[in-house]
Amino acid sequence: MSVINLDHISSNLLLPEVKAAMIDAINRDLANPSSQHKRGEEAAELLAKARESVANLVNAQAPKEIVFTSCGTESANHAIKGVAMANAKKGKHIITSNVEHNAVIRSLRRLKGQGYTVTSLAVDAHGHVNPQDVADAITDDTILVSIMHSNNETGTIQPIAEIANITREKKIIFHTDAADSVGVVPIDVQELGADVVSFASNTFYGPTGVGGLYIRRGTLIWPILDGGVQEHNKRAGTENLIGIIGMGVAAEIAKRDMDKRLSHLNTLKTKLLNDLPNYIDEYIINTPPTESLPNLVSISIQYIEGESVMLMMDDDDIAVSTRSACATGSLRASHVLLSIGLSHADAQGTLVVAFGIDNTADDVDRFLESLRNVVTTLRNISPLYQKRAKA
Amino acid sequence: MSVINLDHISSNLLLPEVKAAMIDAINRDLANPSSQHKRGEEAAELLAKARESVANLVNAQAPKEIVFTSCGTESANHAIKGVAMANAKKGKHIITSNVEHNAVIRSLRRLKGQGYTVTSLAVDAHGHVNPQDVADAITDDTILVSIMHSNNETGTIQPIAEIANITREKKIIFHTDAADSVGVVPIDVQELGADVVSFASNTFYGPTGVGGLYIRRGTLIWPILDGGVQEHNKRAGTENLIGIIGMGVAAEIAKRDMDKRLSHLNTLKTKLLNDLPNYIDEYIINTPPTESLPNLVSISIQYIEGESVMLMMDDDDIAVSTRSACATGSLRASHVLLSIGLSHADAQGTLVVAFGIDNTADDVDRFLESLRNVVTTLRNISPLYQKRAKA
């Protein structure tokens, strides 16, 4: 039996059209897009086409506003460090939230070591930042606000447009890490109002190793990779053309199929939430009922360890995760789950179910069956559960 | 007629085995190597195998000493900025040469804006750095020496092992940008003695969009991409696994075929140098007769423009370049050629012929035929040449 992937936040299949485009690119032995001879021009045209597709996906005004990077993490590093360095003379204060991805948290930690100060805002029980808190945190020294679009552990979608109204008025650059949103939910940078938006190709069934960064025209930001004149002087380095071509095709299809995908994912999510009480009890749903991703459900299963659930479901050929793959190996409880008010024990009992377009209603049924067995087994040997049962 | 690629410094074909491995990886829909379930483990094993192949190619002591990056430029940025930031408390002085790649030059320029000082050493007429100059430039404040292994415009190979003897004694970190050397000439990091070595997959017929960085165990260096725990905590971001798998296969074959390739490239280079006087006159060979890359010949053709030669040869279906593709669009004469003492006019008349394993002796003949015609045509309309002819 093939493995059911319910860990789409960590990895996605490649669309057949993406595979075909990448394989074609591999077989064509494309030249360097910067070369001035015919072979270079052909490569440059393919690069331009992919940039246009990605620009369309997020509704950028011009393809030039899109920079191709090597991953969502590079995009977030570029956004934060690039804006911080370029605007250091104006100020050194940055505002963020307590629930950001490590790419943002650790970029900011790096900047703190270089004399920047960071205000990190608390979130409510649904993981939402209060826009008023952003307004209140702004000082004369503030140069950047970085608040994620959606959270990769809870699925919470932040009120980005409202925050952008505040930053725009104060002329402060606003970055949103939309690595789990672009290509999954409609992202229109004109409506959102953020100045810098980071994202990743694999979120929408393109390859890993390619990311994108939307930089609104006129935003003061430096490259973090210095060297050649690639990417309109915003990101040096010979392009990952095969990957970029794949990202371009994935972007086109994401835009085309957006409504269909949203409806499919919402159906699966609703089914899971509706059926779950028939299979297990004593759990907490961390994903807010509204303002959340259509493909993600975070479930804290009380009295047991999420990691044990994940490993036992792996034996049932079901891939789920306890949190972002990027945080693997860390033994500490998720900072996101603690921030929304979960106890340490409940945080450790959390499972992230992330659907993809390849999942079916049958997958949900199989997941629920497996989950019931696993939870029963684990609770039978859980001292915490025994104690509670006796209470 | 298919285009003859004599611009291998800008782009290379992919080896058939590399194509096959990448296409297989594409078709397998690999998971995230950081995921802890079965699907993740399979991906992690493929990542480990590629790392081992690359470690073998440069004779690293352990695969852990290899960090995968997104390109040679990222590797050089990581090396320079990563060492500079991590060692800032020890000192802020860096030594380099006048003929480095823009990835090095501009990374250093960025650091100068942050309070670092840089000594850039002159080179001789062959483009060589004198190791004694490195020794003389070292101060108590010196934390890093960055001298390239081979030059991408002249082919000059630097005396890296001699320089390493000096830096090792002074306990100064030594980075060498070997982007045009690794996979082309034997690179043994134990013999070279450099602490940090940057390189790129496409140099040895792997894909673009993947680079490598050798970091000797114990070297104090920070990541430049902060976030997750990938690459042994040295480089965050979801891996470009398809590209990395391609790089691994290319590394294996580069090691296996090294002698055969060297002999083939040397034959082509020798033929070009021997036959050239039968086709054109009044030119300068900028590539040193020894201590240079086997695949590169830089020719300054007097009284005409290299760019015109390049464009006219393009019409003859021959791809050559005037310099690094990364420097395309810059109208200034090459800093490398001016550094070795060429006049501005001769620098502008320069053509870089970069052979690859796919070239044949026939390609050299076709190039020479075309070159003769192009040079004759251009000199006939060159005022400079007319003036000189009358003199």
The neighbour count for residue A138, using CB atoms within 10 Å, is 17
Residue B243 has pLDDT above 70, yes or no: yes
Contact of A351 with chain B, judged by CB distance below 8 Å, is answered with no
Which DSSP state fits B334? P
B38 touches chain A (CB under 8 A): yes
Mean pLDDT of A18-23: 98
**What number of other Cβ atoms are within 10 A of residue A307's Cβ?**
17
Q: Which of B23, B71, B108 to mutate: most A Cβ within 10 Å? A: B71
The total number of structural domains that make up chain B? 2
How far apart are alpha carbons A241 and A243 in whole angstroms?
A: 5
Catalytic site includes residue B326: yes
In a shared domain, residues B133 and B27: yes
pLDDT score of B3 more than 80: yes
Q: Report the C-alpha gap between A317 and A128 in whole angstroms.
A: 34
Domain boundary pick from B210, B225, B254: B254
Residues of A in contact with B30 (CB under 8 A): 11
Q: Which residues pair with B175 in a beta bridge?
A: B146, B196
Cβ <8 Å between B326 and A39: no
| Spatial contact of A59 and A65, defined as CB atoms under 8 Å apart | no
Q: What angle do CA A87, A108, A80 make, to 5 degrees?
A: 45
Domain ranges, residue A109: 16-254
Q: Are residues A121 and A134 in the same domain?
A: yes
Q: Show the tokens assigned to B6.
A: 């004599």
- Cβ of A10 and B31 within 8 Å? yes
In terms of domains, do B340 and B315 share one?
Answer: yes
Q: Are residues A194 and A287 in the same domain?
A: no
pLDDT tens column, A77-94: 999 999 999 999 999 999
Domain boundary pick from A232, A254, A276: A254
Q: Are A246 and A53 in contact (CB under 8 A)?
A: no
Domain end, chosen from B254, B282, B307, is at B254
Q: Residues B143-177: pLDDT tens digits?
A: 999 999 999 999 999 999 999 999 999 999 999 99
Average pLDDT across chain A, whole number: 95
Length of chain B: 391
Whether the pLDDT of residue B331 is over 80: the answer is no
C-alpha dist (Å) from residue B24 to A8, B28, B52, B54, B246: 21, 6, 19, 20, 10
Amino acid at B30: L
- Asked if pLDDT for residue B135 goes beyond 90, the answer is yes
Task: Work out the angle between the directed axes of helices A72-86 and A102-112 (0-180°, nearest 10).
Answer: 30
From the CA of B303, how many Å to the nearest CA of chain A?
Answer: 22
CATH code of the domain covering residue A323: 3.90.1150.10
Q: What is the pLDDT of residue B63?
A: 98
CA distance linking residue A19 with residue B24, whole number of Å: 10
Do residues A244 and A280 both lie within one domain?
A: no
Q: Which of A118, A284, A326, A338 is catalytic?
A: A326
To the nearest 5 percent, what fractions of chain A are helix, strand and coil?
45, 15, 40
Q: Give the nearest partner residue to A73 out of B35, B73, B236, using CB atoms.
A: B236
- Are B199 and B263 within one domain? no
Encode pLDDT of A300-358 as tens digits: 999 999 999 999 999 999 999 987 555 555 567 899 999 999 999 999 999 999 999 99
- Best of B22, B146, B226 to mutate (most A CBs within 10 Å, chain A): B226
Centre a 10 Å sphere on the Cβ of residue A259 and count the other Cβ atoms it contains.
9
* Nearest by Cα to A65 from A164, A155, A199, A240: A199
Rounded CA gap, A362 and A340, in Å? Answer: 32
A14 contacts in chain B (CB < 8 Å): 26, 29
Indicate whether B228 and B370 sit together in one domain.
Answer: no
Q: Tell me the residues of chain A between 230 and 249 that have a Cβ less than 8 Å away from chain B.
A: 230, 236-244
A73–chain B Cβ distance below 8 A for any pair: yes
What pLDDT score was predicted for residue B382? Answer: 87
What are the b/e assignments for A22-59, b being 16+ CB within 10 Å?
Answer: bbebbebbbbbbbbbbebbebbbebbeebbbbbbbbbe
The residue of chain A nearest to residue B246, with distances taken between CA atoms, is: A26
Q: Do B22 and B87 belong to one domain?
A: yes
**Confidence band, pLDDT 50/70/90 cuts, at residue A386:** confident
- Angle value at C-alpha A5, between A4 and A11, nearest 5 degrees: 160
Residues B22 and B167 in one domain: yes
Of the partner residues A7, A102, A227, the one whose CB lies closest to the CB of residue B227: A102
Query: How many Å apart are CA B316 and CA B151, to the nearest integer?
Result: 28
CA dist., res. B304 & res. B319, Å (int): 18
ipTM of model: 0.94
Residue range B90-129, pLDDT digits in tens: 999 999 999 999 999 999 999 999 999 999 999 999 999 9
Residue in chain A nearest B103 by alpha carbon? A227
From the candidates B85, B236, B326, B345, give the one annotated as an active-site residue. B326
Q: Based on the domain organization, do B283 and B140 belong to the same domain? A: no
Say whether pLDDT at B1 is over 80.
no
CA A266 to chain centre: 18
Yes or no, beta carbons of B35 and A325 under 8 Å apart = yes
Cα A206 to Cα A260, A264, B50, B120: the distances in Å are 18, 19, 22, 43
Q: Write the burial class of residue B237 (CB in 10 Å: 0-12 exposed, 13-18 middle, 19+ buried).
A: buried
Quick check: B389 pLDDT over 90? no
Q: What does each C-alpha distance from B389 to B102, B282, B300, B338, B382 come to in angstroms?
A: 37, 11, 18, 25, 11
Q: B-contacting residues of A 263-292, CB under 8 Å?
A: none
Average pLDDT over residues B22-31: 94
Q: Answer yes or no: do B174 and B96 share one domain.
A: yes
List pLDDT tens digits, range B218-230: 999 999 999 998 9
Show the DSSP H helices in chain B as ranges: 16-27, 38-58, 72-86, 102-112, 131-137, 160-170, 189-192, 230-233, 241-275, 306-315, 335-339, 344-348, 361-380, 383-390
Q: Which residues of A touch B38 (CB under 8 A)?
A: 3, 314, 317, 319
Q: Does A26 touch chain B (CB under 8 A)?
A: yes
Are A117 and A200 found together in one domain? Answer: yes
Using the beta-carbon criterion (under 8 Å), do B238 and A326 form an inter-chain contact? yes
Helix axes B72-86, B102-112, angle to 10 degrees: 30
Verify whether the Cβ–Cβ distance B319 to A31 is below 8 Å. Answer: yes
CATH number of A182's domain: 3.40.640.10
Q: Cβ–Cβ of A237/B71 closer than 8 Å? A: yes
Interval A196-252: pLDDT, tens? 999 999 999 999 999 999 999 999 999 999 999 899 999 999 999 999 999 999 999
d(CA B22, nearest CA chain A) in Å: 8
The model's confidence at residue A391, banded by pLDDT at 50, 70 and 90, is low
